[in-house]
Amino acid sequence: MRRVCVRTASIRGRIESLITPTVEASPQGQGGEGSAPTRQPPGDLPTKLEDPKDALHTAARRHCLGALLGRRPPPTWWPGPAPAPAAPPSPEGAALLDALLRVIEAAAPDDFAITAELHAFLTGAALLVKVEEPRYTWSRDAAGEREEVVIRRPAPTPTHEAERRRFLDVLAGLDDAALRRVLPLPYRRLLGGGERARIRAGLCVRWGVDDGAHCWHPLWSTATPADVLVASARAFDAAVGEVGLRRALAARGGARVWTLLERGWGDEYEQDLALCRFDAREGYYTAPGLDWLVYRSHEDTIAVAGDWLVDAVDRTWPGRAAHRW
């Protein structure tokens, strides 16, 4: 018997996970049921960008994100005034902007010696980037498991070219005075292949995570360790949620999070805590030091690992024993 699982990377899903505003009501035990929604601050962002390279890189990100946002309200982490209202891009335009944003966020300002070098990189990215539509296939039969990634690259369209030109026009208008007015954004960087492999190796050593198993606690047949809390993801979201996790991590001094997906099937990031939603199915969240881990599965389970983080969740969620997996 052959079993096949196909995943098509959703451009809309990647965009929505980043720019959709979150209504962050107080979790149970932190204001109570019915408390007014609160707006989560974007973290300890500087009020201005001193380095022109940082400003240029951020301006490029702001253009892509603002265009993808369209007329929707800005997300809770968006600093400063909302982008000027505009019609959301067409699916073709969104695909080009998403591809361009991935190239921009795979690079860091410090990768470039001078601002002009970064400017040339951004110009080249706009001219050369191609839309990619990955299709992930996993199959199992008597011979074992196989996985395959097929990348479809649609032909350029006039809509793609229009989005390229709009981006290039923005770059052309970024003189020294304009760069000084650029407001910061929370950090987000696409992880490279070597980084992803090193983080996975560390998770295997520290927490026993095995990508080949397609899951972690509580879905393994082995007993869950004492420093791992497992629960229904739905109950966890209602009682603690992303807001409670961010508060606990911020209180510990956490600023950035590594976000990994099952077998690397999708974009994986190092990102500011303010951007982290902790909602990816088969997603792993951790940080340098690997002293904590959050794992969310397809089966409506969540695992929180690390003594101090488990203690913080216990304090936030007094009734969690009733929802233990």
Residues 144 and 202 occupy one common structural domain? no
Residues 152 and 243 occupy one common structural domain? no
Q: What is the CA radius of gyration of the chain?
A: 21
Residues 73 and 156 occupy one common structural domain? yes
Q: What is the pLDDT of residue 34?
A: 35
Residues 155 and 267 occupy one common structural domain? no
Q: What is the pLDDT of residue 137?
A: 72
Exposed / middle / buried, residue 127 (Cβ in 10 Å: 0-12, 13-18, 19+): exposed
Longest dimension (CA), the chain: 65
Q: Write out the H or E segment, with its range, that includes residue 309.
A: helix 307-316
Report how far residue 38's alpha carbon sits from residue 76's, in angstroms, rounded to the nearest whole number: 9
Q: What is the pLDDT of residue 1?
A: 35
Q: What is the pLDDT of residue 145?
A: 66
Instruction: Please identify every stretch of the chain with a pLDDT value under 70, giving residue numbers as ranges.
Output: 1-46, 85, 136, 138, 140, 144-145, 212-214, 218-221, 263-264, 322-325
Q: Write out the H or E segment, with its range, that includes residue 296.
A: strand 293-296
Counting the structural domains of the chain, the total is: 2
* Domain end (from 185, 219, 244): 185
Q: What is the pLDDT of residue 100?
A: 97
Residues 313 and 180 occupy one common structural domain? no
Best CA proximity match to 282, nearest among 261, 265, 258, 304: 261
What is the value of pTM for the model shown? 0.80
* Domain end (from 166, 185, 204): 185
Residues 40 and 178 occupy one common structural domain? yes
Residues 289 and 167 occupy one common structural domain? no
Q: Which domain, by its residues, includes 114?
A: 3-185
Q: What is the pLDDT of residue 101?
A: 96
Report how far residue 250's alpha carbon sits from residue 158's, in angstroms, rounded to the nearest whole number: 45
Q: What's the chain's length in residues? A: 325
* Domain end (from 161, 185, 209): 185
Strands 256-261 and 283-286: antiparallel
Residues 157 and 207 occupy one common structural domain? no
Residues 208 and 168 occupy one common structural domain? no
Residues 10 and 50 occupy one common structural domain? yes
Q: What is the pLDDT of residue 45?
A: 67
Q: What is the pLDDT of residue 151?
A: 81
Residue 233 phi/psi, 5-degree rounding, is -65, -35
Residues 276 and 156 occupy one common structural domain? no
Residues 147 and 194 occupy one common structural domain? no
Q: What is the pLDDT of residue 208?
A: 87
